[in-house]
């Protein structure tokens, strides 16, 4: 059995907050094999990745894209977080972030942000996951995995889903059948994006309750090691972009 | 807390199998609010959606696409299950199925199929979910939800993830903030594809263990009603296709 425990962290998360301590306070004693999933917004806030829009001067491009639809200062922040614009419809921007994630608004978010502020993605979500994991392991004497999760839209299907943007302490992909398909009869991939499945599972408790930026998944026992960037399909291997 | 229980169903699932009875045998007493997730392959096999490739005459198109890479009879089955080919690279076909799902090989699968056979998607996965739900509710006196799940690849990211292709007894999409965003400051969608998140969560137990084609998710309490086809983004609203 797998269990998903919501971890309501105490108080508002501010720059410099000790996320590991807040998680340890909210969680039952950690056990080896646990997966701690943290919403990117908690990580970003603790890392000070919050922009006061009053300090942002929109560029001509941001003004043009925003039009009457959106706040040009927020669009300016999106452009700064983007390596390139992948698709655009009006003020809706699907961008490739500097990390290589392709997502709406380059991950810039104004929900659950202070008034007139925007929350950015962490600078290095894999690094954030690794740092948090090191602290949690040190304090608990266990071997765990940490996932930094965001909710992302996707091509072809409606709705956003919990998605792994930072991973530490587990391999994000798992091959179900290894090389057993030498017969050439593989019609479909059997490599499962388990870090994304864990992020989606956690989002069932992150999204449903207010002020629950973290979840503990127990009973899955992910193995190996790796990074969320392995989940990004290289552009030359993607058939849709 | 949400719990995900693997439901190992007894024996091989053959055409005409009573899936509801097998699930009730494997599960603890069902409770109102439970979500039963069943792998499409179990549903398809029970519905007799298995093709003996020895009976399939490949068309010229199938022979050409298969080349030396694949079995032309399997490709022929993929073409028959497709409304159109959306992308193709050699024998790898991303097709739109007759239901409207866009997925590799039109959902046709040879893994976990008898030798020289292929398993198709159910003809009407929402209908399959509704039928199974009616039987489970009748037998248990509860109000539950049923999801028929497949593992699907997706654009932009590596790996397959559990995905809802049939839904009954719950709304597959959930709007987190309703109309609270009248200020026009929405940078990102807040409609969550909870049926896909539940399918992904269930796949953590479906994919990891052998012969576990079903899972019971307890503690989420999905509400409303709807169908998996609501998860398909209409082509005219998609920026990637």
Domain extents in chain A: 3-47+123-228, 51-119
Which residues pair with residue B215 across a beta bridge?
A: B6, B37
The residue with greater pLDDT, A187 or A169, is A169
B171-212 per-position pLDDT tens digit? 999 987 654 443 445 566 789 999 999 999 999 999 766 789
We find that the CATH architecture of domain B3-40+143-237 is 2-Layer Sandwich (3.30)
Which structure tokens are listed for B171? 């709304």
Q: What's the confidence (pLDDT) of residue B230?
A: 97
Look up the CATH number of domain A3-47+123-228.
3.30.1330.100
DSSP A50-91: EEEGGG----HHHHHHHTTTS-HHHHHHHHHTEEEEEEEETT
Q: What does the pLDDT look like over B52-73, one tens digit per residue?
A: 999 999 999 999 999 998 999 9
pTM of structure: 0.95
* pLDDT class of B23 with cuts at 50, 70, 90: very high
What percentage of chain B exceeds 70 in pLDDT? Answer: 94
Out of B94, B197, B205, name the one closest to residue A203 (CB): B197
Q: Please compute the mean of the pLDDT values over residues A56-78 and round it to a whole number.
A: 95
For residues B37 and B7, what is the distance between their CA atoms, to the nearest angstrom?
10
| CA B198 remoteness from chain centre | 11
Task: Please report the pLDDT score of residue B69 as a whole number.
Answer: 86
Distance CA A163, CA A166 (A): 9
Closest Cα in chain B, distance from residue A63 (Å): 15
What pLDDT is stored for residue B11 in this prediction?
Answer: 81
**Is the complex ipTM more than 0.90?**
yes
User: What is the pLDDT, as a whole number, of residue A184?
Assistant: 47
The rounded mean pLDDT for chain A is 92
Return the higher-pLDDT residue of B193 and A185.
B193
Q: What is the pLDDT of residue A183?
A: 43
Task: Residue B208: name the closest of A179, A174, A33 by CA.
Answer: A174
pLDDT at residue A103 is higher than 90: yes
Q: How far apart are CA A54 and CA A32, in angstroms?
A: 45
Instruction: Establish if A173 touches chain B: CB-CB under 8 angstroms.
Output: yes
Q: Which CATH class is domain B51-119?
A: alpha beta
Q: Cα separations (Å) of B24 from B18, B209, B233?
A: 10, 19, 34
Give the range among A106-115, B34-43, B199-208, B220-229 with minimum mean pLDDT.
A106-115
**Cα–Cα distance between B171 and B29 in angstroms, integer?**
24
d(CA B238, CA A153): 11
For the ranges A91-105, A134-148, B100-114, the lowest mean pLDDT is seen at B100-114
Whether pLDDT at B146 is above 60? yes
CA distances from A72 to A61, A91, B92, B183, B241 (A): 9, 9, 43, 14, 28
SS3 B164: strand
A113 and B CB contact within 8 Å: no
CA separation for the pair B2, A212 (Å, rounded): 14
pLDDT at B130 over 50: yes
Q: What percentage of chain A has pLDDT greater than the value 70?
A: 94
CB-nearest partner of A157 from B174, B177, B231: B231
Q: Is the pLDDT of residue A187 over 80?
A: no
Cα–Cα dist B31/B47, whole Å: 26
**C-beta atoms of B197 and A192 within 8 A:** no
Q: Which of A157, A210, A216 to mutate to test the interface with B (most CBs of B within 10 A)?
A: A157
Give the E-state strand segments of chain A in sequence order.
2-7, 35-39, 50-52, 82-89, 92-97, 102-104, 117-119, 145-152, 161-168, 174-175, 191-192, 214-218
Q: Which residue has the higher pLDDT, B222 or A44?
A: A44
Q: What average pLDDT does the structure give for chain B?
A: 92
pLDDT of B78 over the 60 cut: yes
Residue A12 or residue A50, greater confidence: A50
CB < 8 Å to A191, chain B: 158-160
Alpha carbon A1 to its chain centroid, in Å, reads 25
Asked if the C-beta of B193 comes within 8 angstroms of chain A's C-beta atoms, the answer is yes
Pairs across A and B, CB distance < 8 A:
229
Q: What is the dihedral of CA B198, B199, B202, B206, to 10 degrees?
A: 180
C-alpha span between B98 and A78 (Å, rounded)? 38
Phi/psi for A65 (5° steps) reads -65, -40
Higher pLDDT, B74 or A211: B74
pLDDT of residue B183: 43
Q: Does B1 touch chain A (CB under 8 A)?
A: yes
Could you give the CA distance from residue B127 to residue B121 in angstroms, rounded to a whole number? 12
């Amino acid at each position: 059995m797998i269990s998903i425990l919501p971890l309501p962290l105490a108080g508002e998360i501010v720059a410099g907050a000790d996320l590991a301590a807040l998680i340890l306070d909210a969680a039952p004693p950690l056990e080896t094999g646990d997966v701690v999933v943290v919403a990117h917004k908690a990580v970003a806030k603790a890392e000070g990745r919050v922009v006061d829009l009053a300090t942002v001067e929109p560029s001509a491009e941001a003004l043009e894209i925003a039009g009457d639809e959106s706040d040009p200062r927020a669009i300016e922040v999106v452009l700064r977080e983007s390596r390139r614009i992948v698709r655009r419809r009006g003020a809706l921007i699907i961008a490739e972030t500097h990390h290589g994630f392709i997502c709406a608004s380059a991950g810039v978010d104004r929900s659950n942000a202070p008034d007139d502020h925007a929350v950015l993605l962490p600078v290095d979500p894999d690094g954030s996951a690794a740092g948090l994991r090191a602290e949690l392991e040190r304090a608990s004497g266990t071997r765990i995995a940490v996932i930094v999760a965001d909710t992302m839209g996707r091509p072809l299907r409606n709705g956003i889903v919990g998605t792994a943007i930072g991973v530490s302490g587990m391999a994000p992909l798992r091959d179900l059948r290894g090389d057993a398909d030498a017969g050439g009869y593989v019609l479909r991939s059997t490599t499962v994006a388990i870090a994304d499945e864990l992020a989606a599972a956690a989002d069932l408790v992150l999204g449903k309750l207010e002020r629950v930026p973290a979840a503990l998944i127990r009973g899955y026992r992910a193995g190996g090691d790796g990074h969320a960037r392995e989940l990004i399909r290289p552009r030359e291997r993607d058939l849709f972009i």
